[in-house]
């Protein structure tokens, strides 16, 4: 009997999480507080085309047509998009990278505002790490709002074998950035499970959000909060990364299926 679609996707999801864990170990053992981040992947010409093309994504999606329109807007010929060998995936990368980088100023604005809130004292400073992580993950999800109706298309492109490594690397960087900005500087055995928790919850919430029609994506935030809480508790109870990843993958599939998603 052929495996069901849900189990096929579950197996792929577990492979993805395994790659994320290996990337943390091999490429990013800790967030560097002393060194500047590496230079971005786009040169000046590429950035000009991509930034212009991005304004066309809500209407035309993450497509070659959007890239061509962006090239024209930036003063280049349509053929200039050849400098982007990954085509539409470069536009998706642009979204992922710029939205991740925008978290730092957002975090300062959010937490400084909490510090200055009348009557709350040092509320922002005493805010728990887990609460800060949830807030930053939510802010990152909100930055998808303008293109969320195009995001399933983007996910399909990201799932192509040639694009999976770069997509996973960006997910790993996002999880690490969220914990860094939340003020968590611990380097201990929980380092991997904490980032795995955020990665799993974020990916599930991002997929959920593509079908969320509630005002302000309220149901997506509730989903995110539940997944972070459930994953964290079960991760600590099981004590094994492999078991924890399997649980979160199965739970994620079941929850999304209960919402009517065909997976």
pTM as predicted:
0.74
pLDDT in tens, 208-248: 999 999 999 999 999 999 999 887 665 554 444 454 445 44
CB 127 within 8 A of CB 111: yes
pLDDT in tens, 173-218: 999 999 999 998 777 778 888 888 899 899 999 999 999 999 999 9
163: pLDDT strictly greater than 70? yes
For 162-187, give one letter per residue: b (16+ CB within 10 A) or e: ebeebbbbbbbbbbbbbbbbbebeee
164 and 212 inside one domain: yes
Residue 254 has a pLDDT of 52
57 and 153 inside one domain: no
Domains of the chain: total: 2
Report residue 262's pLDDT band, with 50, 70 and 90 as the boundaries: low
Residue 151, domain member (yes or no): yes
Query: Residues with Cβ < 8 Å from 33, sequence gap 6 or more?
Result: 180, 185
Give Cα 60 to chain centroid, integer Å. 22
138 and 250 inside one domain: yes
63 and 183 inside one domain: no
Domain carrying residue 77: 33-87
129: pLDDT strictly greater than 60? yes
Cα separation, 110 vs 132, whole angstroms: 10
Angle, vertex CA 213, rays to CA 212 and CA 218, nearest 5: 70
- Across the range 137-155, mean pLDDT stands at 96
10 and 52 inside one domain: no
């Amino acid at each position: 009997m052929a495996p069901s679609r849900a189990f096929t996707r579950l197996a792929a999801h577990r492979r993805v999480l395994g790659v994320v864990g290996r990337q943390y170990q091999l490429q990013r053992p800790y967030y560097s507080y002393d060194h500047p981040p590496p230079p971005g992947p786009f040169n000046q010409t590429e950035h000009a085309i991509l930034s212009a093309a991005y304004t066309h994504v809500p209407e035309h999606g993450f497509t070659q047509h959007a890239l061509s329109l962006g090239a024209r807007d930036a003063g280049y010929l349509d053929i200039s998009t050849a400098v982007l060998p990954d085509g539409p995936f470069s536009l998706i990368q642009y979204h992922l990278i710029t939205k991740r980088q925008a978290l730092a100023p957002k975090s300062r604005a959010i937490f400084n505002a909490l510090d200055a809130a009348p009557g709350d004292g040092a509320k922002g400073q005493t805010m728990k790490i887990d609460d800060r992580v949830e807030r930053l993950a939510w802010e990152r999800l909100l930055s998808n709002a303008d293109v969320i109706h195009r995001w399933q298309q983007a996910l399909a492109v990201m799932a192509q074998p040639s694009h999976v490594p770069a997509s996973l690397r960006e997910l790993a960087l996002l999880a690490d950035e969220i914990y860094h900005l939340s003020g968590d500087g611990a380097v201990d055995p929980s380092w991997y499970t904490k980032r795995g928790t955020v990665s799993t919850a974020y990916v599930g919430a991002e997929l959920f959000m593509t079908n969320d029609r509630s005002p302000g994506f309220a149901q997506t935030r509730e989903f995110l909060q539940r997944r972070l809480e459930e994953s964290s508790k079960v991760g600590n109870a099981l004590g094994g990364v492999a078991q924890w990843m399997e649980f979160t993958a199965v739970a994620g599939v079941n929850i999304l299926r209960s919402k009517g998603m065909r997976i």
